[in-house]
Each structure stands twice: as structure tokens, then as C-alpha cells.
Amino acid sequence: MSVDTDTEVKRRLLILMKDVNLVNEYIRRFGFTINIKHIKEIKEGTCEVPEEPEVSVEDGEDPIFETVVNCPVCGLNKIVRYELRAKSQQELRTVFLVPMYTGAKGYQTADYTRHAVTVCSQCLFASPDKKDFNYPSVTGKGEEKSALTSNILSMLREKTDERKMLLSPLTKFDNYFKKPRTTTIVIDSYRLAIARAQVEAWSDLPYSYFKLGSYSLKIAHLKKGAKMDDTENLTDALQFFEEAYRKSNCPAEDLEMQSLYLIIALKMRLGDLTGANSYLSTYSKLINERMEEMKTKPSLNTNCIEKWADKSRYLWEERETPTLFDLKAF
């Protein structure tokens, strides 16, 4: 089912149930299929269908815990932010570098990707990065201010209505983004994060295009898991990473090389093998340039470039493998 269809179902449910909280509860339990019997059960509070858990039912401690942050855009206080306990999960990544989690000893398995984006329920400012919010100081006195500039925050205030239109016709979000989140709600959180990062990209902030690409890949991953078409989001991600690489938008070399790797992987996935091979040859050029630099700056090295070149060559060599893009690769 497409996101547009999901939105239409939400709209119809809201008309029928007249309460966004009931709509959220219905979607969480039954998904995006309208059933009058289930609507009646939800409204009357007689439904006994168990909620689908967002973490496994295995023994162990829940690795996700709640903290609070404050919105730097509209000023709303005590927004719930979900954080992952350190060393609670073993992590592998897909070919597209989306993390996959397995609970470490003593902890349940939890897909933190579903809860990483914190969303202000008042203005729909959204980010997976705590530093984008105002948050209590570790000293216990005062708060740390958002790392976003006053200019970016001003632009985000101007875009509040546009963010709300992304999730129309819903108008109240007090409980919408609470745990557990359905796949559609998780996708909505990343759509809002994209809206924020797009404002950063308009101002040419470092890493903004890399963030846009990464959020698009997470949406594609979620859609694939729900057996939805992810082509549009993969295409968007490719465009963002190409822009990140073209503009040298990632000052950190490791992320710049990740961008190049992801361009190659996405072009392969979308069927552009000629384009993928063209970008693959870029690594040799970069290594040669770096070796020239090393003649006058011996502290430099080619390690990072070679690491991502090796990963890209592995994908290329395995390009005929049918399950290549289903692997937990790294």
C-alpha cells in the first residue's frame, strides 16, 4: 500500500472515529484496512486484539528509554525522546548502511531505527539528533541550546504549516509519535526529518545532503520490510548522495567515501550498471591523488578511501547475486 493510500485511509478513519487518538490506536492494531466491526470495538473500548510489539518478547531489559528535550522552533517543552542504551545491541548494517539490531546479553532486541526520530507534537520539527533540540544540561543547571543556527530555526518556523500539510488531514499529534510506532508513523517521522534537513540543504549546511539521503534510505528500508515499493525513495536517496558528493557537502572523509559507495550501490540497485562502474573508477583516481599529496604531507594516508573502495568492489563483483541487496553486509 502506498503512503498516499495510507493517508486516505487515515482521513476516512478520522471522519468515522472523530478522534485522532482512536485513529492511531486503530492503525496500530489493525493497520490500514478499514473494518467497521473493528472501528466499533475501538470506539467502545471492547477490542481485545493484542498490540503488535515493537520489541521482541524475549527475556531481558528494554534497551530503549525515555528522556525529554525542548523544541527550539516553537518552544514546546518536555518532548519525549527515545534513546538506546549503550552496548545493549549488536549492530550489523544492510548494503545501504541501514542498521539492523540484535539484543546483546541481558537486553531485548529493538529496532531503534523506528524510534530514532524525535518529533515535536506542536510544530512537527523532527530530528534523530539530540543536538538539534534544546535539552537539559548534564550539569543539572540550565539547558544546552540547539546546534542549529538562528537563521535555520527562523526558516523552520516559517515552514511549520508546510510540515503539518505533509501529514494532513491529521491535526493533533500529542500521542501520534509515541512508542510503539507503526511503520507508517515511522515513515512520517522520517518525512518530517527530511523537511528539516531540506531547509539545512537550502543554506548549504555541511552534511545536509548526506542526512537527506540517509533518511530516504531508512524510508526505503521500512517500505521494503512492509512489502511496499521503495523505488521512489531509493531514487531520491541517489540524487541526494550525488549532490552531497558533487558539492563536497561532507567535510569528514569517511562520510564522503560513504556517499560515493552509496551512489554505486544505489545505481546498481536501480539498474544503472554503467553509471555504477563509472563511479567505481573514481576510487583509483582518488587514491592516486592522495598518494601525490602524501609526498609532501606524509601524515596523510589512503586507508579510508581503500576501505570504501573494497566494499564497492565487493558489490560490483557480486552484482549477479539475486539476494545481494537483502544481505546484512557490514
> 302 phi and psi, to 5 degrees?
-105, 10
Pair 79, 121: CB distance under 8 Å: yes
Both 8 and 76 in one domain: the answer is: no
Q: What pLDDT is recorded for position 85?
A: 96
Question: Could you tell me the residue range of the domain that residue 146 belongs to?
Answer: 54-209
183 and 60 housed in the same domain: yes
> Within 13 A of 287's CA, how many CA atoms are on the CB side?
14
The whole-model pTM stands at 0.82
Q: Helix (H, G, I), strand (E, B), or coil: what is residue 67?
A: strand
DSSP summary character for residue 149 = -
74 and 148 housed in the same domain: yes
Judgement on whether residues 64 and 157 belong to the same structural domain of the protein: yes
Q: Which of 29, 33, 55 is nearest to 42 (CA)?
A: 29
Residue 99 belongs to some domain of the structure? yes
Quick check: is 177 in a domain? yes
For residue 250, being part of any structural domain is answered with: no
Say if 138 falls within a structural domain: yes
Distance CA 206, CA 192 (A): 19
Do residue 60 and residue 192 come from a single domain?
yes
Q: Does some domain include residue 307?
A: no
- State which of 152, 182, 209 marks the end of a domain: 209
Looking at residue 45, what is its pLDDT? 60
Asked which of 192, 209, 226 is the last residue of a domain, the reply is: 209
Q: Report which secondary-structure segment, H or E, holds 103.
A: strand 99-103
107 and 31 fall within a common domain: no
Residue that terminates a domain, selected from 150, 181, 209? 209
Q: In this structure, are 58 and 119 located in the same domain?
A: yes
**Looking at the 3D structure of the chain, how many domains does it have?**
2
10-residue mean pLDDT series, the chain (330 residues): 61 75 71 73 55 52 96 97 96 95 93 97 98 90 93 98 93 92 96 98 96 98 94 98 95 96 98 97 96 95 96 94 79
Structural domain includes residue 244: no
DSSP code of residue 130: G
Which grid cell sits at 319?
A: 552484482
- For residues 115 and 16, state if they share a domain: no
Q: What per-residue confidence (pLDDT) applies to 156?
A: 98
